[in-house]
Amino acid sequence: MQNKKRILTGDRPTGQLHLGHYVGTLKNRVRLQDEYDCFFIIADLQVFTDHLKNYDSIESNVFEVMCDYLGVGLKPENTFFVQSQVPELAELAMYFSFLVTLARLQRNPTVKDEAKTYGATSIIYGFLGYPISQAADILAFKADLIPVGQDQLPHIEQTREIVRSFNQVFGKEIFVLPEPLVGEVPILVGTDGTNKMSKSLDNYVAFAHSSEKTERRILNMVTDCKRAYRKDPGHPNECFVFKYWSIFAPTDTPIVRQECETAVRGCKECKAQLARKLNEHLAEIRERRRHYVSQPDLVWDILSTGTKQARMVAGETLTEVREAMKISFPKLGASKGGR
């Protein structure tokens, strides 16, 4: 256990997770969970950075995300925790804030991108600074590997810069440089065929959706627009539904391609078949998810155990950090259980 390398990653509790999360990062987490000592953070404080209006559903969304995690096959033995319940993370973020310039924060491409949707004049300090808080999430646990979606890469880069800068300024090698790991489909386009799959655009397929809803969303997908009639040959390379085949049922791709190019299969049946495949894939996940949804006490218990464990580990790191920064104040007895 001790000599395993550590993973830390997580999500904002803004609603249910979907296939975009699955191919971008969840699959990696499931695959690596036995090989690594895994910490999964549900980053509720990040909700305030851009969803100030939605904070009343944080608790139920934390529950949904937990059910998604356990549903996709992350084992309950991993350490799952809620960000706000580990105050050491806020403390560490405060310390790190002294190591990052405003100009550096403003250069972060993901932050820039997100800022566009809020309007530049309404940007709050906590939003601009959230990559610092994310660095604290990662470094409090001295994580080695961070499986994330592609949009998170700038934050990992920022985290690495903070490691270098902390070590240099305070002359202590407390932190290790974390490495990002992005899934094989870094950006999954949603069922609208144009935008990245996301809750806000309602172009997604969630684990929590029913198979009927999934089928409806797939049947509504736009196919090859060059194929005007059923008898016309299709162009799989230009068809978004075919792209989904190649992602979610790669072994079927050759036959789908051939039948499409020879007009043996029509678009409607192609989509119906794809929906069936997807639903088959999701059946096990959905069943496991339902199992946890029906046992909320068990789910909260897993989170409670994990949160205690996370506090302990983060607490150890913070002791080292305060020492390095010369703010331990032993005379004040803080280290004697005052915290």
Which spans of this chain sit near ligand TRP (rule: CB under 6 A)? 8-12, 41, 43, 46, 134, 137-138, 146, 148, 152
Shortest distance, position 134 Cβ to ligand TRP, whole Å: 4
Q: Pick the closer one to ligand TRP by CB: 110 or 165.
A: 110
Shortest distance, position 244 Cβ to ligand TRP, whole Å: 23
Residue 24 DSSP code:
I
Shortest distance, position 252 Cβ to ligand TRP, whole Å: 31
Q: Pick the closer one to ligand TRP by CB: 19 or 221.
A: 19
SS3 for 38-60, per residue?
EEEEECHHHHHHHCHHHHHHHHH
**How far is 179 from 160, CA to CA, in rounded Å?**
8
Q: Pick the closer one to ligand TRP by CB: 17 or 205.
A: 17
Measured CA to CA in angstroms, residue 154 lies from 40, 107, 298, 300 at distances of 19, 10, 35, 32
The greatest distance separating any two alpha carbons of the chain, rounded to the nearest whole angstrom, comes to 84
8 A C-beta contact, residue 151 and residue 180:
no
Q: Pick the closer one to ligand TRP by CB: 10 or 190.
A: 10
**How far is 120 from 166, CA to CA, in rounded Å?**
30
Shortest distance, position 251 Cβ to ligand TRP, whole Å: 31
Q: Pick the closer one to ligand TRP by CB: 105 or 218.
A: 105
8 A C-beta contact, residue 131 and residue 73:
no
* Helix (H) / strand (E) containing 148: strand 145-148
Shortest distance, position 142 Cβ to ligand TRP, whole Å: 13
Shortest distance, position 286 Cβ to ligand TRP, whole Å: 22
Shortest distance, position 57 Cβ to ligand TRP, whole Å: 16
Measured CA to CA in angstroms, residue 150 lies from 24, 27, 97, 254 at distances of 7, 14, 24, 28
What backbone phi and psi angles, to 5 degrees, belong to 176? -105, 155
SS3 for 208-241, per residue?
CCCHHHHHHHHHCCCCCCCCCCCCCCCCHHHCHH
Shortest distance, position 7 Cβ to ligand TRP, whole Å: 9
Residue 262 DSSP code:
T
8 A C-beta contact, residue 6 and residue 36:
yes
Closest CB to ligand TRP belongs to which residue?
A: 43
Q: Pick the closer one to ligand TRP by CB: 152 or 158.
A: 152
**How far is 37 from 186, CA to CA, in rounded Å?**
24
Q: Pick the closer one to ligand TRP by CB: 46 or 191.
A: 46
Q: Pick the closer one to ligand TRP by CB: 8 or 274.
A: 8
Residue 82 DSSP code:
E
